[in-house]
Amino acid sequence: QLQLQESGPGLLKPSETLSLTCTVSGGSISGSTYYWGWIRQPPGKGLEWIGTIDYSGSTYYNPSLKSRVTISVDTSNNQFSLNLNSVTAADTAVYFCARALPSATGINWFDPWGKGTLVTVSS
């Protein structure tokens, strides 16, 4: 059964870079036809897609975050990562990683999801 687990610092100061890693177990990222994505959820608010990547490094990013986001993949460790620079309090959220099914033109649905990790940005 495929499982995903987020890891990384839970507290950042404004202007720092958020770095999270998603470790995939029960299946391999390498050579997979799937995409791998990041989604976040500010406290008490809805879901916001951040971006997705496939095993070869092909990416899609949310246009509203694209200037600050980098998603990368490490097939040797079966992980993919999120970097979000110049964070502010508005980036405080639970960050989820998930597997995404590709479509003919991009992405279909996300399943399964990791449990999520809370990242707080505060001075």
Q: How far is the CB of 103 from other proteins (least distance, A)?
A: 6
**Cβ distance to other proteins smaller for residue 30 or 103:** 103
Q: How far is the CB of 120 from other proteins (least distance, A)?
A: 16
Q: How far is the CB of 47 from other proteins (least distance, A)?
A: 4
- Classify residue 100 as exposed, middle or buried by CB count within 10 Å of its CB (0-12, 13-18, 19+): buried
**Cβ distance to other proteins smaller for residue 31 or 44:** 44
Q: Which among 21, 5, 6, 9 is positioned nearest to 122, based on CA atoms? A: 9
**Cβ distance to other proteins smaller for residue 30 or 66:** 66
Whole-number Å distance between alpha carbons of 10 and 31: 31
